[in-house]
Copies of this chain bind each other. A is one copy, B any other.
């Protein structure tokens, strides 16, 4: 079976968490919208066609045979089961998903540093608010989240090299993406923060060195970070 991934073609965004899982799984997939013209008919079909019985609210969504699966964490729950990227026992599956959902919460907070008032407004129309929100995020929220995940690594009974057990899970892949994105968006804050979170930095490097991930990151399939995605580098937000 060939998976069909549907996501905006010009950004990493939430789709990137799915791309990383598909790549590490060695799965056959087509990144549909990147092959389409400007109108994105395939992507839009599932959002706009009233005949779709179980429509997604927003991209990304993944077509897997007859299944159409939306919500990033839900897609990763599915892929984790299918491709051995999560433990097979109930406790391990739930714990992996719990971490993924906590990463998803952090993704929202990162997004809202540049869009604190409205996702449909331009950044330029909410700059003063973005400065306040980003300052609060860097002072309070980022340390709380990073400290939490560093503790998860430190307390892992199977060792501090993975978030769950002693093999790569979707949570590890997503944490790699989080660290990479935070470095791009907030280089000054991360330069300071990384000194306090050596296990997270080591996890990032370990994932980046996985053969399939390394090949992906060096390929044209990896869209560069850019000022349209979730992780945005606005120097004024990381003074």
Contacts and interface: CB of A to CB of B under 8 A. Distances in A.
B108 A56 contact: no
Contacts of A77: 94, 97
- Taking the full assembly, how many copies of this chain does it contain? 2
A53 B159 CA distance: 11
Interface in A101-151: 101-102, 105, 108, 112, 116-121, 126, 129, 132-133, 136-137, 140-141, 145, 148, 151
Contacts of A98: 54, 56, 69-71, 74
Contacts of A53: 155-157
A50 B148 CA distance: 11
A137 B102 CA distance: 23
A223 interface: no
A71 B155 contact: no
A95 B52 CA distance: 13
Given A52-B155, A53-B155, A155-B52, A117 B94 contact: no
Residue among A74, A136, A157 with the most chain B CB within 10 A?
Answer: A74
B74 A155 contact: no
A73 interface: yes
Interface in A67-85: 67, 69-71, 73-74, 77-78
Interface of A: 50, 52-57, 66-67, 69-71, 73-74, 77-78, 90-91, 94-95, 97-98, 101-102, 105, 108, 112, 116-121, 126, 129, 132-133, 136-137, 140-141, 145, 148, 151-152, 155-157
22 contacts: A50-B155, A53-B157, A54-B98, A54-B152, A55-B151, A55-B155, A56-B98, A57-B102, A57-B105, A71-B97, A74-B98, A74-B101, A78-B94, A108-B108, A116-B129, A117-B129, A117-B132, A118-B133, A118-B137, A118-B140, A118-B141, A119-B141
